[in-house]
Structure 1
Amino acid sequence: METMDAIFTRRSIRKYLPDPVSRDMIENILKAGMSAPSAGNEQPWHFIIIDRRDLLEKISEMHPYAKMLKGAPAALMICADQNVPKFKDFWVQDCSAASENMLLAAHDLGLGAVWIGVYPAEKLVTGIRELLKIPEHVTPFSAIAIGHPAEEKPGQPRYEASRIHDNSW
């Protein structure tokens, strides 16, 4: 799939077939996440592969916008190490870039995926940190549900010329 095609056709997919996602596919998605740009090349991210049904269901119960995890064969939790020394104020941007790379990689592999925000909702950060035994200096940022899609959504044009400003507002 060409890059622009992947960007223009990627959609949030929330319904999945029960088929497992192969470890090779998961590793390719993780490689895409780790290829994202980061401030000062600090790469503050850590990733948790979640494919245990009990954990996916618990997260779907604690997170009001993660109900799709009940039917997802896997999810990837993107976390940020707060002990990164120099550019620690940019971890949100870094983990956002990694998350988007992972969404595009999943789409390129023919998988469905959806971004599930965790940070900055403190109750979710605390609950997920406890459930997944994440150390205190690591912040769960987002999760990406992944699976073989059980729904198909066409790309939607989102370009809006009225939001473009030349040289000043």
Structure 2
Amino acid sequence: MNTIFNRSSIRKYQNKEVEAAKIEQLLKAAMAAPSAGNQQPWEFFVIKNKATLAALADCSPYGGCIKDAAVAIVPAYRKEIMMPDFAVIDLSNATQNILLEVTELGLGAVWIGIAPLADRMENVRKVLQIPDQLEPFAIIPIGYPIEPAPQSDRYDATRVHFE
């Protein structure tokens, strides 16, 4: 699966809209992620409004690129689920699926971590008016990349241990 080896963090985007069909495909990829006990705790906020994107950019010291994205997806998880300790793992799986599908569709994105930092989570909650029963997890700004950013080879044989 070459997509894994081509995925990289993209923070600079063209001034070009991302098509609705591609956004839907990203959400389908997210919801295809494995989930503990099949609990699927996820909800997704899709943001295209430039003022809201600019406000989200201020929610993290690493969020500057959000304001220039065509769209951002904010995964959130429901608190009232059967295995709450696994929600962040489930959301990590869903977020990674989005990032891989972004690459497959010729788009670019970066994972802006929000959870588990309470202040950043609260900032995102306020901007998007996320209800209390949901916890914001991350911000994924998405757009057409200005330039490709090839992934470096990260394989390190010294970190592999065979029995």
Alpha-carbon distance in 1 for matches of 2:103, 2:148: 12
Q: 103, 123, 127: which one pairs with 2:123?
A: 127
User: What is the alpha-carbon distance in structure 1 between the residues aligned to residue 31 and residue 11 of structure 2?
Assistant: 24
2:103 aligned with 1:107: yes
RMSD, matched Cα: 0.8
Q: Deviation of residue 87 (structure 1)?
A: 1.4
Q: Cα deviation per residue 1:53-93 (whole Å; 9 max; x = unaligned)? A: 00110111231111001211110000000111x21110010
Distance 1:137 1:163 in 2: 40
1:49 and 2:34 are equivalent in the alignment: no
**Percentage identity across paired residues of the two chains:** 42
Q: Counterpart amino acid of 2:73?
A: L
Runs of 4+ in 1 over 2 A off after TM superposition: none
Gaps of 5+ in 1: none
Q: Which residue is 1:147 aligned to? A: 143
2: distance between equivalents of 1:83 and 1:130?
A: 20
User: Do residues 161 (structure 1) and 157 (structure 2) align?
Assistant: yes
Where does residue 94 of structure 2 map in the other structure? 98
Count matched residues: 163
Task: Report SS of the residue matched to 1:62.
Answer: coil
Taking structure 2 as the reference length, the TM-score comes to 0.97
SS at match of 2:109: strand
Name the residue aligned to 2:74: 77
Of residues 33, 37, 41, the one that matches 1:40 is: 37
C-alpha distance in structure 2 between counterparts of 1:151 and 1:120, whole Å: 31
2:10 is the counterpart of 1:13: yes
